[in-house]
């Protein structure tokens, strides 16, 4: 039961635990749930029930290997004790959308591309498209207005200007082992899995502007980037921990990395190359951490212009620094 619920949990609505919409239900051999981002239907071998998602989630975190029994009023989980979860009114089975899907080619390559851009899908809620990644046939692009990252695909995605939300990308990464096909319509993005499960991801209210896709291509010089050694990566990430809050910065000097909080300051020794050793390259600390989590090569010496970086997979990105 825990394994099935783990695949359904991202679609649960944990906000309104007293409403039918907040339920997770088993209907006709399928565990199902939905929220404003995702609808998930997963095959299972369980008796039928509907309960508050928050209650079932809490119970399954406490019970190791529960046996399941359903009475007229409760779901009873037995294992190291007995837990009763009150039933909600029965729910109708969810209808799988009639969306044509195509098998995914080069799944490992697609997942690698998603992994590269995923750290940059935490954007501004006022720009919904910054909270997802845009798929354009052979590219995947994400930007939060400070960082832009673009991955090229080995095989066409089949999507043209479709922005997939961060929750949907999170779900794809969760189910990475058995994703087999996908398709898109005005009703959403349908994902199909090897075990017979399916998920529908809601369409974004705003698609990422096409102009964002072309920004990486406007950088003509991708030569001369320096390899990010593990010691240097560790120094940057460690120094950034001294920054306090989303507005704080990390400064890259030629011989050290500097960050601070409130009235304190921390210097971490680290050598890099800058155009002017007396002028640091300054970045929002949180943004720099996101870049350094995936960057294989970077060119801090391009500051104050946007600093280019590449990933081990070959994806290309830009991070804008602070110039005032």
Phi and psi, residue 31, nearest 5°: -90, 130
Residue 210 has pLDDT above 60, yes or no: yes
Mean pLDDT of 119-142: 91
Mean pLDDT taken over the chain = 90
- Give the count of beta carbons closer than 10 Å to the beta carbon of residue 258: 18
Query: What is the reported pLDDT for 4?
Result: 95
Mean pLDDT of 305-313: 95
Query: What is the reported pLDDT for 263?
Result: 64
From residue 120, how far is each of 66, 68, 84, 215, 293 by CA, in Å? 38, 41, 41, 15, 11
- pLDDT per position as a tens digit, 238-249: 888 877 665 688
Mean pLDDT of 286-300: 92
Helix axes 285-292, 230-240, angle to 10 degrees: 150
Residue 51 has pLDDT above 60, yes or no: yes
Q: Shortest CA distance to 96 belongs to which of 204, 181, 153, 205?
A: 181
pLDDT band at 254 (very low <50, low <70, confident <90, very high): confident
Helix (H) / strand (E) containing 23: strand 23-27
Query: What is the reported pLDDT for 124?
Result: 83
Query: What is the reported pLDDT for 275?
Result: 67
- pLDDT per position as a tens digit, 98-111: 999 999 999 999 99
Query: What is the reported pLDDT for 100?
Result: 95
Q: Bridge-partner residues for 26, per DSSP?
A: 31, 49
Residue 19 has pLDDT above 60, yes or no: no
């Amino acid at each position: 039961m825990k394994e099935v619920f783990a695949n359904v949990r991202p679609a649960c609505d944990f906000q309104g635990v007293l409403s039918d919409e907040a339920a997770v239900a088993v209907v006709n051999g399928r565990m199902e749930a939905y929220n404003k981002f995702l609808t998930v239907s997963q095959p299972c071998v369980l008796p039928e029930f509907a309960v508050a998602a928050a209650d079932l989630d809490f119970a399954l975190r406490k019970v190791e290997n529960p046996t399941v029994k359903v009475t007229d009023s409760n779901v009873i989980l037995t294992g190291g004790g007995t837990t009763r979860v009150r039933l909600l009114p029965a729910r109708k089975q969810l209808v799988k959308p009639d969306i044509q899907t195509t098998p995914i080619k080069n799944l490992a390559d697609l997942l690698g591309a998603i992994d590269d851009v995923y750290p940059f899908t935490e954007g501004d809620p006022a720009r919904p498209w910054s909270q997802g990644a845009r798929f354009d046939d052979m590219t995947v692009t994400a930007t939060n207005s400070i960082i832009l990252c673009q991955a090229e695909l080995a095989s066409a995605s089949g999507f043209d200007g479709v922005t997939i939300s961060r929750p949907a990308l999170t779900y794809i990464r969760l189910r990475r082992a058995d994703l087999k096909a996908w398709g898109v319509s005005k009703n959403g993005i349908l994902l199909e899995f090897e075990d017979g499960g399916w998920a529908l991801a809601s369409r974004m209210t705003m698609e990422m502007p096409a102009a964002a896709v072309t920004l990486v291509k406007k950088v003509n010089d991708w030569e001369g980037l320096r390899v990010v050694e593990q010691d240097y990566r560790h120094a940057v990430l460690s120094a950034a921990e001294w920054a306090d809050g989303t507005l704080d910065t990390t400064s890259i000097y030629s011989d050290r990395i500097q960050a601070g909080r409130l009235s304190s300051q921390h210097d971490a020794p680290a050598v890099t190359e800058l155009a002017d050793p007396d002028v640091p390259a300054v970045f929002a600390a949180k943004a720099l951490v996101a870049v350094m989590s995936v960057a294989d090569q970077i060119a801090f010496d391009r500051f104050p212009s946007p600093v280019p970086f590449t990933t081990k997979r070959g994806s290309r990105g830009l991070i804008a620094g602070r110039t005032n």
